Amino acid sequence: MFLALRELAFARTRFGLMGAVIALIAVLMVLLSGLSSGLVVDGVSGLMRSPVDAVAFSEGTKTDSAFTRSEVTAAQAQTWAEQDDVADAELLGTSIVNAKNDDGTALDLTLFGVVPDGFVVPEAADGRGLTTPGDAVLSSSARDEGVEIGDVITLDRLGTTLTVVGFTADQRTFGHVDIAFVPLSTWQEVHAGTTAGEQPDPAAYDVASVVALRGVDGQTPDLAAGDAAAGTSARTLEAAFDSSPGYSAELMTMELIKAFLYAISALVVGAFFTLWTVQRTRELAVMRAMGASTRFLLTDGVLQAAILLVISLTVGVSVGLVFGSLLEGTGMPFALETGPILTGAGLLLGLGLAGAAVATVRIASIDPVTALGENR
């Protein structure tokens, strides 16, 4: 430990530059973690924050964008409701639409058609809940678009009007679009393409996108048994995230970027300590000649790397959190979460130590005779 601290003080410029590089990598890790978490929240927060345990799609629906491709019936929902381990089963409709506020502002909304007194519809933190056809409870983030209670939103092409009667307590988005919770009957008319003033086909009121399921005592129902009875394809709520638009592609891209970042971190630290070990080969050989064991020298080198990594990561993560807190209020899909950041910092530390350990292994091959000038 004495040797490690002495060298850190003696070569503080070189170690400072290396520490700055590690700190910058840590800042990038925090920002990427925040962006990944933000994309998840912005993409599926409407599902994440719902009391749904599982979702049943129509049989054979492809995973990608299944919410907009699936179509189930009231009979299938009833079959699910009759399962012993299902506490609630309700039709849920999802559609992404273009609309305009009454002041002409263009809006993109995801309509969630829900049973007004069912378990899926969230409580309105501001305003009131759904009571009549044409009511809409919007995500709290819709306020950023200038929407207020009492505004009348008109859907493009159809001319259907929705009156904003309330807002949720938190952000509820789907496919990076604010959710508007509307009565299921209103969604069914929109889904059928019924224009304002037109009489809808009675069959339109029999369908929805999926069946939302809630198990008994918070347990996930037997999805295979329910599928066999209802002729559906059910997935747990978390598995259903992949069925939202662009969810899988976005997360795979971010995970690949983070994987390269971790690999680069290990290589950078390993390369630095390899060069540092080469530069001090003669000094280490002298210590070997004086009786220092290989284990002592290896431990000393790894501890030196650990001190550098811990200090650099602490500084980098702190700076990253400051930058991240500034980005959270900009409208960018960004969310700082403790778990991913701690995991990322742990990986950077572990991979950095692994790279340093591989670099310092060459100490074991140092011949003490070198200290006597044999190779001069």
Low-confidence ranges of the chain (pLDDT < 50): 376
What pLDDT, on the 0 to 100 scale, is given for residue 7?
66
pLDDT tens per residue, range 282-328: 777 777 777 777 777 777 778 888 888 899 999 999 999 999 888 87
Amino acid symbol at 295: R
Share of the chain above pLDDT 70, in %: 93
Q: Return all residues near 45 (Cβ < 8 A) that are at least 6 apart.
A: 170, 171, 172, 173, 174
Measure the CA dihedral 165/168/169/172, to 10°: -160
Amino acid letter, residue 204: A
Q: What's the rounded Cα separation, in Å, for the pair 69 and 10?
A: 65
**CA 281/CA 67 separation, integer angstroms:** 63
Question: Which is it for strands 106-114 and 232-236: parallel, antiparallel or unpaired?
Answer: unpaired
Half-sphere CA count of 144, side-chain side, radius 13 A: 12
CA-CA-CA-CA torsion sign (259, 260, 261, 262): positive
- C-alpha span between 17 and 26 (Å, rounded): 14
pLDDT score for 40: 85
Residues 236-264 have pLDDT tens digits of 999 888 888 778 888 888 888 888 888 88
Give the H/E segment covering residue 275: helix 247-279
Q: Please, what is the Cα angle at 241 between 239 and 245, to 5 degrees?
A: 140
Amino acid at 313: L
Q: Which residues pair with 73 in a beta bridge?
A: 207
Distance, CA of 175 to CA of 209 (rounded, Å): 15
Secondary structure letter of residue 130 according to DSSP: -
DSSP code at position 321: H
> Residue 300: CA atoms inside 13 Å, Cβ hemisphere, count?
19
Q: In this predicted structure, what is the pLDDT of residue 5?
A: 66
Six token digits for residue 185: 């009957």
> Please, what is the Cα angle at 90 between 211 and 141, to 5 degrees?
85
β-pairing verdict for 54-58 and 210-215: antiparallel
Report whether 38 contacts 327 (CB < 8 A): no
State the Cα–Cα distance between residues 184 and 115, nearest whole angstrom. 6
pLDDT of residue 187: 93
Domain boundaries, the chain: 1-44+248-374, 65-243
Q: Tell me the helix, strand and coil percentages in the chain, rounded to 5.
A: 55, 20, 25
For residue 29, the Cα-to-chain-centroid distance in whole angstroms is 14
| Six-digit token string for 170 | 């938190």
pLDDT given at position 231: 93
